[in-house]
Copies of this chain bind each other. A is one copy, B any other.
Amino acid sequence: MVDKIKTADEAVKDLKDGMTIMVGGFMACGSPENLMDAIVRKGVKNLTVIGNDGGMPPTENSSARGIGKLVAAGLVSRLIASHVGLNPQVGEGMMCGKLGCDLIPQGTLAEAIRAGGAGLGGILTPTGVGTIAAEGREIIEVDGKKYILEKPLKADFAFIRATHADKFGNFMSAKSTKTFNYVMAMAAETVVLGTEQLHEVGELDADLYHMPGTFVTYIVGGEIKWQI
């Protein structure tokens, strides 16, 4: 069996300036913090980041979290997300022209990533028809109803987080940490999985894992629960 287990720094070795990456999680809940730290250490520039949001900014009591770490370090030149209101640093970056931001309805974002992973040429969604979300998109009419044709999203890297994974990369993300982690596992060239628990193959029942390890390129252990 191919050995997928790496340190976080090894896992980002081939990450390069200007690449497009996906980061799982929702407001940093379910984001792989070890992997974000490794990206910051590597210091790649001009990343396009696809994620639900801009993560959490640094506060007096804590460092930034999730995508917020990349934003705080100035590594992000473009963010494709559904909501960035909880990270004022994204707004600041947008104001001064350093950070471009494409806002996409959350459900459309999830489907576009899934379509990228599932080999679809796109999906037709009624969400956003007649609004700014339709700008630059083709409108397709099916049985008299209008839909936006949303094209698939793919990335060079996906950084995702599991609660339980085995050494082949089969994984599950507990409770509300699933979010974008499952669809992003399908949609990138290199998929790096940060996990809290790392199990031997066959140690847990197969049906406890929600996603197959065949999607996962590298596995990095040592994710810990966020301490409030």
Task: Give the B-binding residues of A (Cβ under 8 A).
Answer: 111, 115, 118-126, 140, 142-143, 145, 147, 149, 151, 172, 174-175, 206-208, 210
Contacts and interface: CB of A to CB of B under 8 A. Distances in A.
A149 B147 CA distance: 12
Contact of A121 (B120, B140, B172, B207): B140
A141 to B, nearest CB: 9
Given A119-B126, A140-B140, A207-B208, 4 more contacts: A115-B123, A119-B125, A175-B206, A208-B208
Contacts of A206: 175
A145 B152 CA distance: 13
Contacts of A118: 111
Contact of A147 (B121, B126, B142, B143): B121
A208 B207 CA distance: 8
A149 B143 contact: no
A206 to B, nearest CB: 7
A117 to B, nearest CB: 12
A199 to B, nearest CB: 15
Contacts of A142: 121-122, 149, 151
B124 A122 contact: yes
| Highest count of chain B CB atoms <10 Å: which of A121, A126, A174 | A121
A140 to B, nearest CB: 7
Contacts of A151: 142-143
A116 to B, nearest CB: 12
Contacts of A208: 207-208
| Highest count of chain B CB atoms <10 Å: which of A111, A122, A149 | A122
A175 B142 CA distance: 36
